[in-house]
Amino acid sequence: MHQIELSYTFGVPRAHAASIRNPLMDLLHAIREQGSISAAAKALDLSYRHVWGELKRWEKQLGHALVVWDKGQPARLTEFGNKLLWAERQAQARLAPQIGALYADLERAFAVAFDDAAHVVALHASHDDALASLREHAVASDKLHLDIRFTGSVDAIKALNEGRCVMAGFHAPADSPPGSLAERTYKPLLEPGQHKIIGFARRSQGLMVARGNPLGIASLADLARPDVRFVNRPLGTGTRVLLDELLARQALPPSAIQGYAHTEPSHTAVAHAVASGAADAGLGIEVAARASRLDFIPLVSENYFLVCLKSTLELPSTQALLGILRSEAWQRRLAAMPGYRPQQSGEVLSMRRVLPWWNFRTPKAGKRG
């Protein structure tokens, strides 16, 4: 079976723009209608030599003759050539609605590229429902489009540093002390003077448990009980960093938790694991728990930040994003989400103040002799 490859081109509107065009089908159709290669070439505004060469190339590639020439008779398609045209008409007729929708989607997407007033922000970020909501909110403005790729907090900042995005999203506990795991994780990735921290939200993280909390789970220490099955997040995610920091604070070894090695890629996936009975508890955000009709036991309040390079802070796309974050409409929408509230949204913040383990000491002046 021959493979099908789809492509598209930029051009002026055409009468058949609601269909997917294939140059071979156009060529065969012209030969059948015109009755000769020279007339077909003229109808297609191509040279006779080009049309002849394309016919031979396609016949070799497909392994079948396409055109029959009898002396004194018009050129006509072979049975195989006619079957190709029939198959193409059948496919076009069946797929016309989908093809039309595909054209419309492509045109809308590329309209952004040709609109000088529209902006696209490439954002790698730790999984967060508020960011997904922000993407929808921004699209409604028709002027800002967030190209979000959800990944771990560590990978998001690495992507920023490697130039694979212009904005990253990560989160850290609001009370992480110097020497904490959060400091050891994020401090090597962020450089004062090079990175700019932007406020986004304060959110609650806690334990998601079955509705009614049948096992009576009340704290992190309960995860060490033999009757509790836990579901974790992968290494490199901010929630995994948070869990390991909370365990270290309480001197709870990961080996004591049944299911510590069982991971799911997002808060939603963790909630689904608990809701389906595959696990009894998982650490995650409140909005994911509520969406899956789970009970939620809050453990910690954390800040979710956006970060960009200083060199991109003044880009029109970055400024457009900051404007939306500062807007009353967005902050009302954020505050309505369970477990969220605005936290200096859209403000460029002091790294030392919001990440307390940063401590910039001014060198003491030397003694004068």
Which amino acid, 369? G
Higher-pLDDT residue of 246 and 104 is 246
Contact by Cβ (8 Å): 192, 325: no
**CA-based angle 257:269:282, to the nearest 5?**
25
Q: What percent of the chain has pLDDT over 90?
A: 71
Question: What pLDDT digit, counting tens, does each position of 294-318 carry?
Answer: 999 999 999 999 999 999 999 999 9
pLDDT at 12 over 60: no
Report in angstroms the alpha-carbon separations of 43 from 29, 30, 75.
11, 7, 15
pLDDT at 364 over 80: no
pLDDT confidence of residue 365: 45
Contact by Cβ (8 Å): 183, 316: no
- Here the tokens at position 141 are 């403005």
Question: What pLDDT digit, counting tens, does each position of 185-231 carry?
Answer: 999 999 988 999 999 999 999 999 999 999 999 999 999 999 999 99
Confidence class of residue 13 from pLDDT cuts 50, 70 and 90?
Answer: low
| H/E segment holding residue 164 | none
- Here the tokens at position 334 are 């954020």
pLDDT at 284 over 80: yes
Rounded (10°) angle between helices 48-62 and 23-34: 120
Q: Which of 126-140, 156-170, 223-237 has the lowest mean pLDDT?
A: 126-140
Residue 290 and residue 366: Cα distance in Å, rounded? Answer: 59
Rounded average pLDDT over 219-247 = 96
- Here the tokens at position 157 are 């900042």
The domains of the chain, with CATH numbers, are 23-113 (1.10.10.10), 119-354 (3.40.190.290)
Please spell the DSSP secondary structure of 321-365, one letter per residue: HHHHHHSHHHHHHHHTSTTEEESSTT-EE-HHHHSTT---PPPPP
Cα-to-chain-centroid distance, residue 303: 21
Confidence class of residue 115 from pLDDT cuts 50, 70 and 90?
Answer: confident
Cα-to-chain-centroid distance, residue 136: 13
Report DSSP state, residue 77.
E
pTM of the predicted protein model: 0.74
Cα-to-chain-centroid distance, residue 23: 34
Question: What pLDDT digit, counting tens, does each position of 37-54 carry?
Answer: 999 999 999 999 999 999
pLDDT at 103 over 90: no
Nearest one of 138, 140, 137, 160 to 149, comparing CA atoms:
160
